[in-house]
Amino acid sequence: MAGVQVANVSRSFGAHKALDNVSIDFADGGFYALLGPSGSGKTTLLRQIAGFDFPDAGRIAIGGESVERVPVEKRRIGMVFQNYALFPNMSVADNVAFGLSVRGEPKATIAAEVQRALDLVQLGKLGGRKPHQLSGGQRQRVALARAIVTKPRVLLLDEPLGALDKALRVDMQIELKRIQREIGITTIFVTHDQEEALTMSDRIGILRDGRLVQEGPPEEIYDRPQSEFAATFLGDANIFRGDATGSGIKLPDGTTIAASTGASVPAGAKASCAVRPERIRISTGAAEPDPAGANMLTGQVSKRIFAGNNSTYFVDRDGQTLKVIVQNTGAERLAEGEPVVLSWSPDSTVLVAAA
């Protein structure tokens, strides 16, 4: 087991900069998600760590040992591929045994280790099957067992749950997390699914156009995004754009929005505020007054989507549609077309420099 350090790694394919000076420290034993839209460089980064491809510049170290010029077969990593990449000509047990067998381990050791790995992923009885006789979830488990049976220093997962349906995906998320905790292996997980990144990982790195946009624990990125992109890519956010005032921003129509978290942007510069939909209070304005200092806007409900435990209101305000999520507490629901007051605390408002 070992941590992974990526320092100033760049990689170009022709004129395209797939990775641009990326540095991340993956702590030993942590579960790390690399999150980003397609083309953001997350898979390229994973392939550099795996050793399928070498960086043009920068350092990669696994367990303190420089590996940026070491080919994949000598890096002692475990990898799970998007489409599992199980060997179709081999049985499940032979698939799992492959890594030990190419190392020339004795047959008895291999058989015992393979059985242990299959038991760990709860497929102890299916060793004799061929991959095509398994369901998607089972193939996923075999791929995982095959990747960890060699006791790699780091486990790399390339969108491993992408091919599964929703219900199975949630099961596998829990399962994957359980196995990762059980063996305590440093895990780096590439995904474009923000929910998956939020629920599974200890830390998240958000990538965009080959650059690391923000990095930290999920709570920190969600509560204190450092850019409009981070705010909107990880979760939903209402974005207000205007000029920085020193304590918030002033919108083009003169309304001021106070923000007490986020970056410090010099007054007069372009800046944005991000507010999560569930942090906004929506009311007809007649009820109890908002606490002093709260941000307040008026608008009109354009649409309401009822989802059982909550409702999403779309509120039109000066050409902008704001999103508000209200828990179903039994309170009276607002009708479409109704004029409303939106209010939220400056503590829930994150100031970010303009994109």
Partner 1 sequence: MAMTRILEWLGRFYIVLLLGFLYLPIIIMAAMSFNASPFYQLPFEWTTDWYASLWQNDQLIAATWNSIEIAIITTLISTVLGSMASLALYRYEFRGKKVLQALLFPPIAIPWLITGTAMLIFFFGVGIGRGLIAILLGHVALALPYVIVVVSARLQTFAPELEEAARSLGANQWQVTMRVTLPWIMPGVIAGGLFAFAVSFDQFVVSYFLSTPGQTTLPVEIYAAIRKGFTPEINAVSTIIIVVSMALMLLTARFFKFGGEK
Minimum CB distance to partner 1, residue 223 (Å): 36
Beta strand pairing call for 154-158 and 186-191: parallel
Taking the least distance from each CB to partner 1, the nearer of 158 and 215 is 158
User: What is the widest separation between alpha-carbon atoms in the chain?
Assistant: 78
Taking the least distance from each CB to partner 1, the nearer of 54 and 81 is 81
Site for partner 1 in 146-185 (CB under 8 A): 146-147, 150
Q: How far is it, in rounded angstroms, from Cα 157 to Cα 115?
A: 22
Site for partner 1 in 284-323 (CB under 8 A): none
Q: How far is it, in rounded angstroms, from Cα 185 to Cα 179?
A: 9
Taking the least distance from each CB to partner 1, the nearer of 99 and 210 is 99
Taking the least distance from each CB to partner 1, the nearer of 95 and 226 is 95
Minimum CB distance to partner 1, residue 98 (Å): 5
Taking the least distance from each CB to partner 1, the nearer of 74 and 166 is 74
Phi, psi of 50 (to 5 degrees): -70, -35
Q: How far is it, in rounded angstroms, from Cα 140 to Cα 138?
A: 5
The one among 8, 13, 52, 135 contacting partner 1 by CB under 8 A? 52
Site for partner 1 in 108-147 (CB under 8 A): 132, 146-147
Strand-pair partners of 273:
240, 351
Place of tokens 């510049």: 57
Minimum CB distance to partner 1, residue 250 (Å): 53
Contacts of 307 (CB under 8 A, 6+ apart): none
Taking the least distance from each CB to partner 1, the nearer of 83 and 264 is 83
Burial of 220 (0-12, 13-18, 19+ CB in 10 A): middle
Helices 166-183 and 107-120: crossing angle in degrees, nearest 10, is 130
Residue 256 identity (one-letter amino acid)? T
Taking the least distance from each CB to partner 1, the nearer of 148 and 275 is 148
Strands annotated E in 193-309: 203-208, 211-216, 238-244, 248-250, 256-258, 261-262, 270-275, 281-283, 295-306
Taking the least distance from each CB to partner 1, the nearer of 69 and 74 is 74
Minimum CB distance to partner 1, residue 314 (Å): 42
Q: How far is it, in rounded angstroms, from Cα 301 to Cα 206?
A: 33
Residue 234 identity (one-letter amino acid)? L
Taking the least distance from each CB to partner 1, the nearer of 6 and 86 is 86
Minimum CB distance to partner 1, residue 320 (Å): 45
User: How many alpha carbons fall within 13 Å on the CB side of residue 314?
Assistant: 8
208 in Cβ contact with 234 (< 8 Å): no
Site for partner 1 in 54-113 (CB under 8 A): 71-74, 76-79, 81-83, 85-89, 98-99, 102-103
Minimum CB distance to partner 1, residue 140 (Å): 13
Minimum CB distance to partner 1, residue 30 (Å): 20
Question: Binding string, 5-44, against partner 1, x = CB under 8 A?
Answer: ----------------------------------------
Minimum CB distance to partner 1, residue 99 (Å): 4
With binding defined as CB under 8 A, does residue 48 bind partner 1? no
Site of interaction with partner 1 (CB under 8 A): 50, 52, 71-74, 76-79, 81-83, 85-89, 98-99, 102-103, 132, 146-147, 150
